Amino acid sequence: MATHRYISPAFLFLLWACSSPVEQFHDEVSEYKHQLPVISIVADSLDLFDDTLGIYSKGIGTAENWQGQKANYFSGKKIAMNMAYFIDGKVAFKQEAKMKVSGGGSRKQPQKSFNLSCKEGFGFPFFSHLPYDHYKSLRLRVSGQDWRETLLRDALMHTLVSHTQIDVQAYQPVVVYLNKKYWGIYNIREKFNTNYLQQHHTIGAVDILEGNSKLLEGKDDEYLELLAYVQDNDLSRNEHWDWIEERVDLENFIDYYCAQIYFANTDWPGNNIKYWKASEGKWRWFLHDTDLGFDFAPIWGHPGGVKHNTLKFALNDSFTTHHNQAWSTLLFRKFLNNEQFKQKFIRKFAQHLEVTFHPERVVSVIDSLSANIEDEMPRHIDRWKDEADYALQSVEDWQLELDVLRAFALQRPSIVRTHLQMNFKQAE
């Protein structure tokens, strides 16, 4: 009697790939016309969508998140893939690499973000305004939970302060095809890691931490020393303030706090906070995950919105939410005990409100970023509108969300000025 050997689905996929080359798969995608660059990703459909193996599916729940919710897409598992990058319908770059689902709460959305990585890196200048042509890793981001709103909120905030001393992530909107299926608009973003720091700051060894002194890279002893010194010494005295100035990049720190307070980002400072130091440098802060800024926080039950007193929120020594506990407000509170720092902070914030966050400038940036993706929005919305009841249902819905950004831009500066005057008793 004849015997039948079991052939795994993965092996069948390899047979299919040999008979229908990946390049042909990408070439078919190139026939579609888009004004944005296009990324075509080809991966084993079982690795993506299978109930047991699939990193994109809820599946059998092979992992759980911090809330105890179980789904395959929480696993952090990397899968092999092949990508091609198209500009004006022509292949500009091809690469074998790996991908995994990324993000926090946004992993539960039907359109999910990805981290892309490969050993040799990606040798292409994805961001035309930057002088770099090689990236160790990249993010393909759906604008986090702002996916249901504007698709550009976090990118907007990074763009607004890209000229300051803050470390920000570059942004390039693209269209993605996944196994030849239209997957909508994504944002290519830089990743904050050692490769980023080596490019932007030309440094060697670094210490990178997040949250309440959680170590990501290097060592934590110098940051713990900073915290202890701030707690144990009177920073109004020059000798103690000199010690701080030698260890903290105060230009970066002030720009960073001005930005977060203006944005009314209340998913901070006790969350989404990352900071770093080169071996011979000073502590600096990344602008990390600002999705709940610009009037988006209230939809999640957070304090926030255009009228929110985020300055007071960032100075609380008895927390009002778990996002402004005493540890997360410590440095800012203690630094303001120094009159020199306080006056510098007030002056710099006033300058930012007059220039960086001037309503006309901010509205102009909103209009520019939205114009880049406007032609693609009808197709993107049509792709996802039936996938979730909170997805955008029309271009008109999207335009209304952009109007929320514009209204924030027009109103926020005068509100922040009032908060500064109230807190520091400054006369106009």
- Could you tell me which residues are beta bridge partners of residue 80? 98
Max CA separation in the chain (angstroms): 96
- Domain residue ranges of the chain, discontinuous segments joined by +: 12-194, 202-357+410-424
Confidence at 361, pLDDT banded by 50, 70, 90: very high
Round to whole Å and give the CA distance between 56 and 71: 9
**Region 243-247: what's the mean pLDDT?**
98
Residue with tokens 């950004």: 405
The SS3 of residue 82 is: strand
Confidence at 9, pLDDT banded by 50, 70, 90: very low
Confidence at 83, pLDDT banded by 50, 70, 90: very high
Residue with tokens 């944002």: 187
Round to whole Å and give the CA distance between 310 and 305: 9
Average pLDDT, the chain: 91
Q: Is the pLDDT of residue 2 over 50?
A: no
The rounded percent of the chain whose pLDDT value lies above 90 is: 82
Q: Is the pLDDT of residue 428 over 80?
A: no
- pLDDT tens, residue by residue, 378-398: 999 999 999 999 999 999 999
Round to whole Å and give the CA distance between 275 and 268: 13
Which residues, other chains included, contact 354 with Cβ-Cβ below 8 Å and sequence gap of 6+?
none
CA–CA distance from 258 to each of 5, 84, 244, 263, 358 (Å)?
Answer: 66, 39, 19, 9, 13
Burial of 428 (0-12, 13-18, 19+ CB in 10 A): exposed
Which residues, other chains included, contact 366 with Cβ-Cβ below 8 Å and sequence gap of 6+?
156, 402, 405, 406, 409
Residue with tokens 């004849």: 2
- pLDDT tens, residue by residue, 316-344: 877 677 788 999 999 999 999 999 999 99
- pLDDT tens, residue by residue, 170-200: 999 999 999 999 999 999 999 999 999 999 9
